[in-house]
Amino acid sequence: MKVKSILPISALFLSQIYFAQETPKKETDDKEKQIEAVTITKTKKAVEQKADRTIYDFSEQPHLNSGNTLEGLQKIPGLVVSEVAGMVYQGKALDVYMDGRPLNIYSTQLTAYLEGLPANSIEKIEIITQPGAEFPATSGGAIINIVTSRNAKSYLSATYAGGYRFSNYEHFRSKFNNSLTLNSKNKWFGWQLNVGQSYNESETRSTIDEISRLYNDNYNRNQYLRSAFTFDVGQDRLLLNYNLTFGSSDRYVDGYSLFEGKESTSKDKTDQSNTRNEITATYQKNFDDKNKKLEFKGSYTNFNNNFGQASQDVSPLPSEMKNVLNNGSNQNVYNFRVDYSQPIKVLDEGKISLGAYYDQLELTAENFNVENLDYKSKTTAFYSEASATKGKMDLVLGLRGEYYNINGTSLNPDNGNYDNLRSFEKFKLFPNASVQYNIIPKIASFNINYNKKITLPNVANLNPNNNRYSNDNIDYSGNPNLQPTIFDNFEIKLTALNYAFIGYNFTNAKNQVVQKVSRTGDVISQTSDNIGRMKTHNFNIGFPIPLAVFNTPFKEIMKMDMNPDKVSFIFLYGAYQLQQIDEVIDPKGYWTYNVTGQFILPLSVKFIANYTYLTKGNSDFFYPNKSFYNTLNLSLSKKFNNDRMTLTLFANDVFNTNETNLRTINTIPNVFIRNKNDTRNFGLSFNYKIPTKNKLAKESPNLLNQEKKEETSTL
């Protein structure tokens, strides 16, 4: 078959995917009918493109839901996760949400949290690249929403998920997780409970300018409980959610240090523990017109974190173990929101949405039981957004107003006095607009988006205390005087049947917060700072190719079932990103390449290979000596017992090529940093859905995620 046939056959493949996954509408009778032995199966889309977001299904994708959540996220094309760059998707920094609510944890704490969350407890990942007026303006450039919920059933059911992995570098290390989900629904109320735990042994080798070399032996533990209850109040509904997470980690460090010409070695230990409590109440008003919505939601979140380090000199002279760091922080977040929407008669059809929002964050930090930061942030907001359709054109126009009041005090270590932080008290307007032209309705579309957003400094960057390992050479600290960042985001995108796309986005950020690393003598310092402006350009493209085009006549392809879960194909993704910073004279862009192949083997065994490679190019003030990300992941999966049970064997970073190896470009001399984790690991995951005798059970509304109905586009 000629290569020129690939494009039309790929288009056929896309159209077959679309029609295979569409759920036909069914007429319902007023009376319930008894139907015997009928099973209705709805195929989930692995990837779904919408006007403002991209949705990745985790629940049915073994190569994503094996291992922990962080590993699954790193396999998504265009998503980069690192402690240096944070979480970035197609050039946009992501604000991390879970089940529709901000996590409000960052940096190493966020990495540890995602490593402790099993990927098989994730339902789907929503990357909202164009958050409209309904979303907080503080969402910044984009949002990643991690949906952990399950759908409740009209009967008691249970799902068990477990996994085991191991790595074998100098030592054999085990990593495992277990979780159990219970669901029940009757005519009065419904409830849902998800409990689980994870354990992770790992190692890290770090080198900084050859004056500090560290070997880290890490032990991470995580336990969590997520619960939801729903009650019918007349025709309305009340939902209550309570989530609890415990996390702890111990790190044993063999250290080498060269300081002022003297060499020394040490044995150190760090211990970190955190607790997260979250309570949410939602009241939903029911209307005869199902397109109308009135919802009240209030929530409270507490996040408590403690970090300590003890050090012992081994050479040149042994010493006793002594505490060198003892830091803690406590964060309380209160918020309340009300959302209302209804259809309006404008053009062919339309909708208007209105709402108000209040958020208050209180952060205190202490060092050896002495409080050295008291930070308060209050946000009051309102929004209005209208959408309309005219022929093949969909239009959205929104405006959000937010008032900020940020203040606090921090302890000045030089004089022992408490200084006032740089306050931020301002009212700002944030417009958003979107135009989508449906070239072929439900087949191909072209859209243009614009929004203005803001990001408040996160608590990890504000905290003046060091919450990481340090020695004579290494000093980490936050900056309590950071100012908010203002974003102007533009995007154009052409999409065909959810899987093929080509797009360009541009972000202009004022007062961008970046990490800065510098060296003075033998001391390496890292802190956060604002820079005047950063412009980010990102071009990306993705396209699937069914393997049948290479060995099957076109007439035979026309007869084939192109359900993406049943055929072999390759998905190609590429992106180019360029950051322009005033302080960087000659910025270098970098390419991201991703190839994901799905191969259906005999006995319906599915083999998936995922390879990602990033070329060299600057990210903020860092330039890689080697690729920022370079890894090959493999998985074999098989479903049993009428698809109730799934077994997956997997290997991550098969060639052990993934590492952080970079230099700083903001100061002279440059600082060279290298971190190598035990990213190569092997394991298996297991998922079993206990069957039910009730074949007529209907899915009830999702209990653990009652934010905006994400399946319905605003266009």
- pTM score, whole prediction: 0.78
Query: Is 128 domain-assigned?
Result: no
State mean pLDDT over 310-337. 92
Query: Is 483 domain-assigned?
Result: yes
CA gap 479, 461 in Å, rounded: 6
The more confident residue out of 151 and 375 is: 375
Given pLDDT bands bounded at 50, 70 and 90, which one contains residue 270?
Answer: very high
What pLDDT, on a 0 to 100 scale, did the predictor assign at position 102? 73
How do residues 687-713 score in pLDDT, each as one tens digit? 787 665 544 344 444 444 444 333 322
How do residues 413-457 score in pLDDT, each as one tens digit? 778 888 888 888 999 999 999 998 989 887 888 989 999 988 888
Q: Which of 411, 403, 537 is nearest to 464 (CA)?
A: 411
Work out whether strand 92-98 and strand 142-147 pair parallel, antiparallel, or are unpaired: parallel
State mean pLDDT over 93-117. 71
What pLDDT, on a 0 to 100 scale, did the predictor assign at position 334? 96
Mean predicted lDDT score pLDDT of the chain: 81
What pLDDT, on a 0 to 100 scale, did the predictor assign at position 156? 61
What pLDDT, on a 0 to 100 scale, did the predictor assign at position 352? 94
CA gap 221, 200 in Å, rounded: 7
CA gap 434, 244 in Å, rounded: 38
State mean pLDDT over 476-499. 85
Q: Which residues contact 19 (CB under 8 A, 6 or more apart)?
A: none
What pLDDT, on a 0 to 100 scale, did the predictor assign at position 565? 63
In the three-class reduction of DSSP (H, G, I as helix; E, B as strand; rest coil), residue 603 is classed as helix
* H or E segment and range at residue 572: strand 569-581
Of 472-476, 518-522, 607-611, least confident by mean pLDDT is 472-476
pLDDT at residue 554 tops 90? no
CA gap 455, 486 in Å, rounded: 7
pLDDT at residue 28 tops 50? no
Query: Is 396 domain-assigned?
Result: yes
Range of 248-257, 514-523, 682-691 with top mean pLDDT: 248-257
What pLDDT, on a 0 to 100 scale, did the predictor assign at position 360? 95
Instruction: Specify the amino acid at residue 388.
Output: A
Q: How many CA atoms lie within 13 A of 466 on its CB side?
A: 16
pLDDT at residue 43 tops 90? no
Of 26-35, 385-394, 506-515, 547-556, least confident by mean pLDDT is 26-35
Of 45-59, 346-360, 517-531, least confident by mean pLDDT is 45-59
Residues of the chain with pLDDT > 70, as a percent, come to 81
CA gap 599, 550 in Å, rounded: 14
Contact 131, 142 (CB under 8 A): yes
CATH code at 566? 2.40.170.20
What pLDDT, on a 0 to 100 scale, did the predictor assign at position 576? 95
How do residues 325-377 score in pLDDT, each as one tens digit? 899 999 999 999 999 999 998 888 899 999 999 999 999 999 888 898 899 99
The residue ranges of DSSP E strands in 101-235, in sequence order, are: 101-102, 124-128, 142-147, 157-168, 172-185, 189-208, 212-233
Query: Is 27 domain-assigned?
Result: no
CA gap 277, 225 in Å, rounded: 10
CA gap 197, 248 in Å, rounded: 12
pLDDT at residue 263 tops 60? yes
CA gap 492, 390 in Å, rounded: 20
Query: Which residues span the domain enclosing 680?
Result: 194-690
What pLDDT, on a 0 to 100 scale, did the predictor assign at position 160? 83
Query: Is 707 domain-assigned?
Result: no
* H or E segment and range at residue 239: strand 236-259
**Helix, strand, coil percentages in the chain from 3-state DSSP, rounded to 5:** 10, 60, 30
The secondary structure of residue 347, as a DSSP letter, is S
The secondary structure of residue 10, as a DSSP letter, is H
Q: Which residues contact 112 (CB under 8 A, 6 or more apart)?
A: 220, 247, 249, 272
Number of domain units in the chain: 1
Query: Is 59 domain-assigned?
Result: no
Query: Is 541 domain-assigned?
Result: yes
Residues of the chain with pLDDT > 90, as a percent, come to 39
What pLDDT, on a 0 to 100 scale, did the predictor assign at position 589? 92
Query: Is 106 domain-assigned?
Result: no
Q: Which two tokens stand for residue 559?
A: 């007869």
In the three-class reduction of DSSP (H, G, I as helix; E, B as strand; rest coil), residue 555 is classed as helix
Contact 21, 43 (CB under 8 A): yes
Instruction: Specify the amino acid at residue 91.
Output: G
